[in-house]
Amino acid sequence: MTYPQTPRFVGRILDWPPVGFVARLALVGAYLLGGIVKLSDWPAAVAEQAHFGMSPPAMWAALTIAIELIGPLLILSGRLVWLGAGMLGVFTLLAAITANAFWSMPGGVARFMATNAFFEHTGLIGGFVLVAMITRRDRA
């Protein structure tokens, strides 16, 4: 079976340089914003970590802020993209396991929502792998 080529107008859109940057910004935007918000409200950032049982919460808040700011900046800058993607991918997996442990919940709405959130986070991890792969391929 043969498949048609990418339509010309789609190829032009995908080849337009700003599209790649905007796509990377869409992928990392929530992390970047999260880091900025946490940095601007340190007590809330520490309280969030305490809420999830992370100890000591101030250390985890600082680490979270660093990852949420450095990871996106690496991806957006195009430098050490593999590192930024890896940082955010591992962080996202650990956060999903910590905050969305649907397997330990009884059935119902809360479990349904945690399950959806967990798998949405795995989709983000896939996006980080893809951005690292594309960057590596484009530089080869």
* Residue 87 pLDDT: 98
How far apart (Å, rounded) are the C-alpha atoms in residues 46 and 54? 9
If you average pLDDT over every residue of the chain, what do you get?
Answer: 95
pLDDT interval class at 139 (50, 70, 90): confident
Q: For residue range 85-136, what is the model confidence (pLDDT) as tens digits?
A: 999 999 999 999 999 999 999 989 999 999 999 999 999 999 999 999 999 9
pLDDT interval class at 1 (50, 70, 90): low
Residue written as token pair 């802020």: 65
Q: Are 4 and 11 in contact (CB under 8 A)?
A: no
